[in-house]
Amino acid sequence: MRRKLAAGNWKMNGLAADLDQIDALEAAHSAVDIDILICPPAPLLERMAARASKIAVGGQDCHASVSGAHTGDTAAAMLVDAGASHVILGHSERRTDHKETNDDVRAKARAAFDAGLIAIICVGETLAEREAANTLDIISGQLAGSIPDAANGTNLVVAYEPVWAIGTGLVPSTDQIGEVHDYIRAKLEARFGEGVGRSVRLLYGGSVKGSNAADIFAVSNVDGALVGGASLTTDAFSPIITALAAS
Ligand code: PEP
């Protein structure tokens, strides 16, 4: 049985005053039996973790090394030390802005596992790749290259995030989401065995809102969402959490 997960990615948004959102979210969803996660910018992590009780807190990236001369980077153990339980890895914005490769993501995921973090590894095709009918090949390569052999249903979550759907208001059809999620499930089962493959949670991400959440959560092999823009306010994130809890 996979626990549902509503994960918010605040990206480079949020100051101390925005931590009030945590109180409001906790009050609104104290009784829901799903996992809720917020990944704030690194400077807010420790304060958010101290304030949250039901809501888990995660990083948005980590370095592959445990320590050293890497100015501006954060080691996985530092995220844990600040109160994080999860880390997003291989988000398309990092793959693009920081030229992160599948090898980079896999090394970071190994570091995350070693530190005891749950890694949310993001995969997804660009619009050009979808239009060239290469979506499943791209996903296959990203899964094979980004996920370490030590992955299992406890330390890994996979987020399918079509690059063209992130922050654009464009959303794939439910058939398109289902095709990719079923494919990811089959790939995980083939690589890790049926038991492990079936236990890994699969999130959809890309312009999820209260208005489309219920339809997306009804798709097979969608165990939750990774939400960017709509996770920034309680008003926008709450209906998504409610829809997931009801799915
Ligand atoms: C994201 O950045 O992971 C994301 C899904 O963003 P948005 O929900 O804003 O499309």
pLDDT, tens only, 156-193: 999 999 999 999 999 999 999 999 999 999 999 999 99
Per-domain residue ranges for the chain? 5-246
What mean pLDDT do residues 100-109 have? 98
pLDDT surpassing 90 at residue 141 = yes
pLDDT surpassing 90 at residue 94 = yes
Question: Looking at the whole model, is its pTM more than 0.95?
Answer: yes
pLDDT of residue 55: 97
The CATH number of the structural domain formed by 5-246 is 3.20.20.70
Say how many CA atoms lie within 13 Å of 181 toward its Cβ.
27
Enumerate the H helices of the chain as residue ranges.
20-28, 42-51, 76-81, 92-97, 102-115, 127-131, 135-146, 174-192, 194-199, 210-217, 234-246
Q: Which residues are catalytic?
A: 91, 161
CA angle, 67 then 72 then 74, to 5°: 45
pLDDT of residue 1: 83
What mean pLDDT do residues 107-131 have? 98
Select from 166, 216, 222, 241 the residue to mutate for testing ligand 1; criterion: most ligand atoms less than 8 Å from CB. 166
Pocket residues for ligand 1 (CB within 6 Å)? 9, 161, 166-167, 205-208, 226-230
Residue with CA nearest ligand 1 atom 6: 228
Confidence band for 4, pLDDT divided at 50, 70 and 90: very high
Q: How far apart are CA 18 and CA 244, in angstroms?
A: 24
Write down the mean pLDDT value for the chain.
Answer: 97
Q: How far apart are CA 14 and CA 18, in angstroms?
A: 6
What mean pLDDT do residues 238-245 have? 98
Q: How far apart are CA 247 and CA 213, in angstroms?
A: 10
Q: How far apart are CA 5 and CA 104, in angstroms?
A: 25
Bridge partners of 87?
Answer: 59, 119
Residue with CA nearest ligand 1 atom 4: 228
Confidence band for 12, pLDDT divided at 50, 70 and 90: very high
85: its two tokens: 């339980």
Residue with CA nearest ligand 1 atom 1: 228
77: its two tokens: 């153990």
pLDDT of residue 183: 98
Shortest-distance atom of ligand 1 to CA 11:
2
Ligand 1 centroid to residue 16 C-alpha, Å: 22
Ligand 1 centroid to residue 226 C-alpha, Å: 7
Residue written as token pair 């899964």: 143
pLDDT of residue 105: 98
Residue with CA nearest ligand 1 atom 3: 228
Biggest CA–CA distance in the chain, Å, is 47
pLDDT of residue 120: 98
65: its two tokens: 């090394």
Select from 226, 232, 233, 240 the residue to mutate for testing ligand 1; criterion: most ligand atoms less than 8 Å from CB. 226
According to DSSP, the β-strands at 224-227 and 5-9 are parallel
Kindly state the DSSP code that residue 63 receives in the 8-state scheme. B
Q: How far apart are CA 61 and CA 76, in angstroms?
A: 8
